[in-house]
Amino acid sequence: MARIHLYVAAACAVVLALAAPALAGDPDMLQDVCVADYASPVKLNGFPCKANISADDFFFDGLRKPGNTSNAAGSLVTAANVEKFPGVNTLGVSIARIDYAPGGQNPPHTHPRATEIIFVLEGTLEVGFITTANKLFTKTVTMGDVFVFPRGLVHFQQNRGYGPAAVVAAFNSQLQGTQQIAVTLFGATPPVSTDILAKAFRIGDGEVEHIKANFAPK
């Protein structure tokens, strides 16, 4: 009986080991390419494959120019994910360019489906992430440096230089998903109840309403 239990445990370990890569990112592809068909009425986890494809489906020029950072955060993320770049469908990768004005910030946020790694193109940034044990890991990075943010953890970047900054960010998902902490909590539709946020942040209802006004959906 003990030997049977050992075999069962070993079989379970093998199954978990084989399943681990699939759990780590997007599902494995089942053919060479599957260019996203945005026009298809079929709804599934990802996009169906387009029948007629060309080299243009695997090309994206949207990261050539700096993004417009004239906004409240002073930053702009220009994404090349499956929603804009059909050739990455089923490939489990995507990329983005992030531009920052002086003092600009990519506010605290998470990516539920991907680890992120950045390469600094220009400027000086303070970057960091926070673990589930509330431990902050932060670093000042500059041109040519690389920093990685583990999947699902809250992280941020802020321009600490006197001029513009920019990074290229890569993800191990065709659509990493992004939840900005402040926008998620104070700009949700329908809104999170004021008393819930007041209790969570230990502030008054009036302060919550004031913050909500800054993140009201437009």
Any binding-site annotation on 116? yes
Q: 170, 194 in Cβ contact below 8 A? A: no
Any binding-site annotation on 109? yes
Any binding-site annotation on 106? yes
Closest CA to 62 of 34, 96, 104, 87: 96
Q: Prior bond to 21 cis, omega within 30? A: no
Q: 59, 87 in Cβ contact below 8 A? A: yes
3-state secondary structure 142-172: ECCCEEEECCCCEEEEEECCCCCEEEEEEEC
Any binding-site annotation on 5? no
Position 55, amino acid: A
Any binding-site annotation on 210? no
Binding residues for Mn(2+): 109, 111, 116, 155
Name the binding residues for oxalate. 106, 111, 116
Annotated binding site: 106, 109, 111, 116, 155
